[in-house]
Amino acid sequence: EREVLGASARDTTPSYDWFQTDDLITVVIYTKQKGMNAELVIVDCQHKRLRGEIILDDHSYLVEVDLDHEVQDDFAVNIAEKVGKVEIILKKKDRMQWKVLGLPLESHNTLIRRTERGLFYRKCELVSKTEVTHDTKLFCFMLPKSTHLQVPIGQHVYLKQIIAGTEVAKPYTPILPFLPLDFKEPFCQDGVHIYLMIKIYSCGLFTQALDHLQIGDDISVSNPEGNFKKSQAEALEELFLLAAGTGFTPMVKLLNFALTKVDCLRTVKLIFFNKKEDDILWRNQLEQLALRDERFEVQFILSEPAEDWMGKQGKISSALLSECMKRSKKDSKVLICICGPTPFTEQGLQYLEDLGYSQEEMHAFTA
Ligand code: FAD
Ligand code: NAD
């Protein structure tokens, strides 16, 4: 059901217009929102179908038309951040005057809640697959030229494929290709490649099919989803990351952001829970980073260690958290992020609450 907007909301409802030259079609979206940025603009243009989605907090504004004439695959997106103007500049295939932009599709020019807007998928090509551990691989997918999409920190995408005749979709959290060790400059993503670190389960329905993808094969990738807000990490003094297994994935971009962009940050501590030593993802990179940046510390905790393991062992517990997570100052601004198997995350949140952390100080990554 579409939301009926009140008069005050209508004043801030985005609108759009379009212009043309001999070679170009420019679609302009007036979002009427300050602080627009590239992560809030998702554009796809395939087979004459233009879809431009603007994320406005928990709402989504959509321009969706069947274009009057053919355009080339690549296009440009310009964003005037302060005034909230978004331009999508398409290149005409043929130099001719268009009478109309195109035929509006069903959801064209609507502003609705994000949760009501179905996920949109586009085909991406698998360009590489490299081993991370005995069961986990780093997959690199390439977005088509005809897509503008950047996955924000803490958000995930859905991958979709047909398995034995049925469509199956599962969520995965994009990471960086490696942990940048020099945290002076934020790692710049190219906007073309999406890196996913995925554990292949021997009986896993989806991951077995993923593992059988060949380089050059396509898979459908959705728009981003997730409820983490970058503002939660701004002005932080201490950041604790509690990750279990592949629950490490949302921590990668967050770690990079915190160490490069959060000036008042004093410490980041990653407490990383795994079964065995050889399950630890990016262990070497994490240890290197801890050596390079004195604000960063990592602790590995194994639930099924070998006899010679000298480090900590066990599972998440109240005693363990109170021991590993001491505030360095009584009233410093703290954020604790947690991600892993559902029981791990739920128990963790409960223990943290028992230890006196407030809801605002905790964030759980979930679907
Ligand atoms: P399934 O066929 O569902 O089963 C996987 C294995 O676990 C099998 O061996 C099965 O026997 C066992 N199993 C299934 N259900 C349970 C259960 N309830 N308790 C115990 N064992 C069970 N995974 C990543 O590798 N990388 C990511 O970046 C990533 N991001 C995610 C982001 C979100 C928001 C969420 C919710 C999950 C994410 N996951 C990620 C997990 C991913 O979505 C899949 O669940 C995972 O890949 C398994 O899919 P599958 O179909 O191969 O396995
Ligand atoms: P795993 O089975 O290898 O376990 C890793 C560690 O998690 C264990 O050593 C243990 O310390 C802890 N753990 C496991 N089960 C537990 C339980 N029942 N109670 C308490 N602690 C427990 O982990 P994995 O196979 O890498 O699975 C990672 C999980 O993280 C998956 O369930 C995946 O869906 C989830 N995940 C979620 C997100 C997200 O929501 N954003 C992102 C990535 C991964």
Closest ligand (CA of 304): 2
In a domain, 134, yes or no: yes
137 lines ligand 1 (CB under 6 A): no
Q: Are residues 304 and 186 in the same domain?
A: no
- Same structural domain, 354 and 242: yes
Least trusted range by pLDDT, from 165-174, 178-187, 217-226, 307-316: 178-187
Range of the domain at 252: 230-364
Q: Range with the lowest mean pLDDT among 218-232, 280-294, 323-337? A: 323-337
pLDDT at residue 331 above 80? Answer: yes
126 near 217, Cβ under 8 Å?
A: yes
Shared domain for 182 and 241, answered yes or no, is no
Cα–Cα distance measured from residue 334 to residue 316, given in angstroms and rounded to the nearest whole number: 19
Ligand 1 pocket, 207 CB below 6 A?
A: yes
- Say whether both 60 and 103 belong to one domain: yes
> How confident is the model over 104-119, as pLDDT tens digits?
999 999 999 999 999 9
* pLDDT above 50 (res 203): yes
| Tokens 């501590």, located at residue | 269
User: Ligand 2: does its nearest atom lie under 6 Å from the Cβ of 303?
Assistant: yes
346 shares its domain with 239: yes
**pLDDT on residue 11:** 66
Average pLDDT over every residue of 23-39: 95
State pLDDT tens for residues 221-270: 999 999 999 999 988 999 999 999 999 999 999 999 999 999 999 999 99
Give yes or no for residue 6 having a pLDDT over 90.
no
Q: Is residue 1 part of a domain?
A: no
β strands within 217-343, DSSP E: 218-222, 238-244, 267-274, 296-302, 312-313, 334-339
Residue 1: per-residue pLDDT:
39
Q: Is 25 in the same domain as 12?
A: yes
For residue 65, what pLDDT is reported? 98
Q: Say yes or no: 354 and 312 in one domain.
A: yes
Q: Indicate the burial class of 65 (C-beta count within 10 angstroms; 0-12, 13-18, 19 or more).
A: buried
Of 206, 219, 221, best ligand 1 pocket probe by most atoms within 8 Å of the beta carbon: 206
Does 18 reside within a domain? yes
Query: Has residue 306 been placed in a domain?
Result: yes
Region 346-355: mean pLDDT is 96
Burial label for 96, CB within 10 Å (0-12, 13-18, 19+), is exposed
Read off the tokens for 193: 């490649």
Final residue of a structural domain among 222, 242, 275: 222
Q: What is the tens place of the pLDDT at every residue in 78-103?
A: 999 999 999 999 999 999 999 999 99
CA of 180 to the centre of ligand 1 (A): 27
Instruction: Name the domain boundary from 116, 132, 155.
Output: 116
Which tokens sit at 175?
A: 């990471």
206 and 248 assigned to the same domain? no
Both 275 and 184 in one domain: the answer is no
Select from 156, 160, 153, 175 the least CA-distant residue to 122: 160
| Of 196, 222, 248, the domain-final residue | 222
Residues 129 and 192 reside in one and the same domain = yes
In a domain, 2, yes or no: no
- Measured CA to CA in angstroms, residue 235 lies from 264, 271, 320, 335, 362 at distances of 6, 22, 27, 10, 15
Give the CATH number, domain containing residue 41.
2.60.40.790
Q: What is the CATH number of the domain that holds 284?
A: 3.40.50.80
* Same domain flag for 205 and 304: no
Residues 26 and 76 sit within 8 Å (Cβ to Cβ)? no
Number of separate domains in the chain: 3
pLDDT band at 328 (very low <50, low <70, confident <90, very high): confident
249 and 357 housed in the same domain: yes
Share above pLDDT 70 across residues of the chain, in percent, rounded to a whole number: 95
Q: Name the residue of 172, 219, 342 to mutate for ligand 1: max ligand atoms within 8 A of Cβ.
A: 172
